[in-house]
């Protein structure tokens, strides 16, 4: 049973009676010459429609009095000529039946029909200020409705930003979504395992990237969910490294941050492993510190606890470890509590411990309770999906123990909050030192 009609019904139930919501999908984008970037639908649009063809628009009309709610799709028409060149298109009739819309019309009729649909609607829900061309199109519809004022037609008096409501709906994943995210997590974990097995000193970073892409695609994932990071040695200390073009040297670690998108849902995994299959002592020491920080952070993922408890747990373990290993110095930064208050750990751990995850890798939804005056970190609820990704990045510097220089480590997993705690979706990517070394030795 497809979930889209149910989601539309839930949104419609929250709208003002008789109000209209409109939402277009993503445009096609030219890459160069006459070639487009691979097409990716808009996430909000897909959430409500399940429809992946470009040039599509969704219109929802909330129930009022005797009038039932309506959901209407505007989409590309069937076109035998274009389908010979580009492949199948649903066309309005088949799309209406397949995706459970009440009505479907050719996209070419959108502007003409919107003036009728908006006539006498009290409010319009629309993603304000996201796309200038769309804003102008919507303004044109409103102008057309107002032009009918003398015939007794009223134009919408209020406009609401549609995405705030949708973001909150998307933040809580339903079972359908969690199943897709688990599949994306499984494939991505297997891709990391494959890349570990394939890694040899002397390879180039892009050869390791190719192993990941191979495993994504052979399992039916449509895209990488974001640009893959394959960072050897000091490149691991560049947080958004993406060149992936350097040779991997014997004795270095390789940090790999890569996940696939499966049927519209992202996985986001980081693993860090030794090029030659064996951690050196300083590498293992830092790796095990990050692993302990991640375990503490994952243990903090429980319904009712604030989102910020996850980062706080990681920071506590990392900061205490930095003192034990001589990365932070009591004479300079005081106690671990002082170091946390002053963010002294940020010299080596400068990013957050995670983010919401879903159709977008950095998924939608507020991180704070914006209804309260001091906007505290919001409480975790079952169905929220997020990453847990502590790390440590040691750039050379005065007073920094040399044995740790240029080591960068991150360990990232994807979890969903459950009634009791959380479920890890990415457990198939090896993570313990012994597990990684055993897997890499097997393949040598």
Residue 412 annotated among the catalytic residues of the structure: yes
Q: How far is the CB of 271 from Mn ion (least distance, A)?
A: 10
Query: Taking CB under 6 A as the criterion, which residues in 397-436 touch ligand GLY?
Result: 412
* Closer CB to ligand GLY, 141 or 226, in the complex: 226
> Which member of 53, 257, 261, 360 is catalytic?
257
| 91 class by beta-carbon count within 10 Å (0-12 exposed, 13-18 middle, 19+ buried) | middle
Q: Is 268 a catalytic residue?
A: yes
Cβ 297 to ligand GLY shortest distance, Å? 14
Residue of 175, 178, 184, 167 lying closest to 1 (CA atoms):
175
Three-class SS of residue 135? helix
Sign of the torsion angle spanned by Cα atoms 314, 387, 271, 38: negative
Specify the residue, 412 or 437, whose C-beta has the smaller distance to Mn ion: 412
Among 45, 51, 101, 226, binds ligand GLY (CB under 6 A): 226
> Of these residues, 4, 51, 349, 393, which one is catalytic?
393
| Active-site residue identified among 205, 211, 261, 389 | 389
Give 320 or 389: the residue with its C-beta nearer to ligand GLY. Answer: 389
Quote the CA–CA distance of 182 and 267 in Å, as a whole number. Answer: 8
DSSP strand E in 88-135: where?
Answer: 103-106, 123-126
The answer to the question of residue 389 lying near ligand GLY (CB under 6 A) is yes
Q: Which is nearer to Mn ion, 220 or 227 (CB)?
A: 227
Q: Which residues 393-432 are close enough to bind Mn ion by CB under 5 A?
A: 412
Would you call 351 a catalytic residue per the annotation?
yes
360's contact among Mn ion, ligand GLY, none, with CB below 5 to 8 A by partner kind, is none
Query: With left for phi above 0 and alpha for psi between -120 and 50, is residue 250 left, alpha or beta?
Result: beta
Query: Which of ligand GLY, Mn ion, none does 177 bind, CB closer than 5 to 8 A by kind?
Result: none
Residue 228 binds Mn ion, judged by CB under 5 A: no
**Alpha-carbon distance 309 to 292, whole Å?**
15
Instruction: Indicate the residue among 205 and 268 with the shorter CB distance to ligand GLY.
Output: 268
Q: Pick between residue 76 and residue 355 the one whose CB is nearest to ligand GLY.
A: 355
| Residue 374 CA: distances (Å) to CA of 41, 184, 215, 239, 342 | 36, 37, 46, 31, 21
Q: Is 257 a catalytic residue?
A: yes
How many residues lie near Mn ion (CB under 5 A)? 4
Residue among 276 and 387 whose Cβ is closer to Mn ion: 387
* Residue 361 engages ligand GLY in binding (rule: CB under 6 A): yes
Question: Is 34 a known active-site residue?
Answer: yes
- Tell me how far, at minimum, the Cβ of 169 lies from ligand GLY, in Å: 22
Distance separating alpha carbons of residues 353 and 388, to the nearest angstrom:
6
Residues within window 236-275 making contact with Mn ion, judged by CB under 5 A: 257, 268
186-219 burial, b at 16+ Cβ within 10 Å, e below that, comes to: bbbbbbbbbbbebbebebebebbbbbbbebbeeb
Cα–Cα distance for residue pair 439/277, rounded to 1 Å: 8
DSSP state of 184: H
CA atoms within 13 A on the CB side of 416: 21
* Of the candidates 418, 427, 430, the residue with the CA atom closest to the CA atom of residue 182: 427
Find which of ligand GLY, Mn ion, none residue 215 binds, CB within 5 to 8 Å per kind: none
Query: Among 177, 205, 261, 268, which residue sits at the site for ligand GLY (rule: CB under 6 A)?
Result: 268
Q: What is the spatial distance between Cα 133 and Cα 154, in angstroms, rounded to a whole number?
A: 24
Torsion of CA 244, 247, 249, 253, to 10 degrees: 10
Sequence-separated (6 or more) residues with CB below 8 Å from residue 395: 237, 405, 406
Pick between residue 53 and residue 413 the one whose CB is nearest to ligand GLY: 413
In the bound complex, what is the minimum distance in angstroms from residue 361's beta carbon to Mn ion? 7
- 168 is a catalytic site residue: no
Token pair 């991180």 in the structure block, residue: 367
> Pick the catalytic residue: 268, 302, 320, 437?
268
With CB cut-offs between 5 and 8 Å by kind, which of ligand GLY, Mn ion, none does residue 226 bind? ligand GLY
| Interacting residue ranges for Mn ion, rule: CB under 5 A | 257, 268, 387, 412
Which residues in this chain contact ligand GLY in the complex, by CB under 6 A? Answer: 226, 257, 268, 355, 361, 389, 412
Catalytic residues: 34, 240, 257, 268, 351, 355, 362, 389, 393, 410, 412
């Amino acid at each position: 049973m497809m979930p889209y009609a149910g989601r539309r019904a839930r949104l419609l139930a929250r709208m003002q009676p008789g109000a209209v919501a409109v939402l277009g999908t993503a445009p096609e984008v030219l890459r160069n010459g006459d070639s487009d970037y691979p097409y990716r639908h808009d996430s909000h649009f897909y959430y409500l429609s399940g429809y992946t063809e470009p040039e599509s628009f969704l219109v929802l009309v909330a129930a009022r009095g005797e009038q039932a709610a309506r959901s209407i799709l505007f989409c590309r028409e069937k076109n035998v000529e274009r389908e010979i060149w580009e492949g199948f298109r649903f066309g309005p009739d088949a799309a209406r039946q397949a995706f459970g819309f009440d009505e479907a019309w050719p996209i070419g009729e959108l502007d003409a029909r919107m003036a009728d649909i908006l006539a006498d609607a009290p409010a319009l829900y629309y993603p304000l200020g996201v796309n200038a061309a769309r804003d102008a199109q919507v303004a044109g519809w409103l102008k057309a409705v107002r032009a009918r004022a003398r015939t007794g037609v009223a134009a919408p008096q209020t406009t609401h930003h549609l995405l705030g409501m949708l973001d909150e709906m998307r933040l809580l994943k339903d079972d359908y979504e969690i199943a897709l995210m688990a599949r994306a997590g499984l494939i991505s974990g297997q891709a990391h395992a494959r890349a570990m097995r394939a890694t040899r000193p002397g390879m180039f970073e892009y050869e390791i990237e190719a192993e990941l892409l191979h495993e994504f695609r052979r399992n039916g994932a449509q895209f990488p969910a974001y640009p893959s990071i394959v960072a050897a040695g000091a490149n691991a200390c560049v947080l958004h490294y993406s060149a992936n073009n350097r040779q991997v040297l014997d004795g270095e670690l390789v940090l790999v941050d890569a996940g696939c998108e499966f049927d519209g849902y992202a996985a986001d995994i980081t693993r860090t492993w030794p090029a030659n299959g064996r951690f050196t002592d300083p590498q293992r020491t830092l790796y095990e510190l990050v692993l302990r920080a991640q375990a503490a952070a994952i243990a903090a993922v429980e319904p009712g606890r604030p989102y910020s408890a996850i980062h706080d747990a990681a920071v506590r373990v990392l900061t205490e470890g930095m003192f034990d290993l001589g990365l932070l110095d009591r004479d300079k930064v005081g106690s671990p509590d002082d170091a946390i208050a002053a963010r002294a750990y940020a010299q080596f751990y400068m990013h957050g411990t995670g983010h919401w995850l879903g159709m977008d890798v950095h998924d939608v939804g507020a991180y704070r309770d914006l209804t309260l005056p001091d906007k505290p970190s919001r409480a975790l609820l079952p169905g929220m999906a997020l990453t847990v990704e502590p790390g440590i990045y040691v750039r050379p510097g005065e007073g920094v123990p040399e044995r740790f220089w240029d080591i960068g480590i991150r360990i990232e997993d994807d979890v969903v909050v459950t009634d009791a705690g959380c479920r890890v979706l990415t457990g198939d990517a090896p993570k313990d030192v012994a597990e990684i070394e055993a897997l890499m030795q097997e393949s040598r």
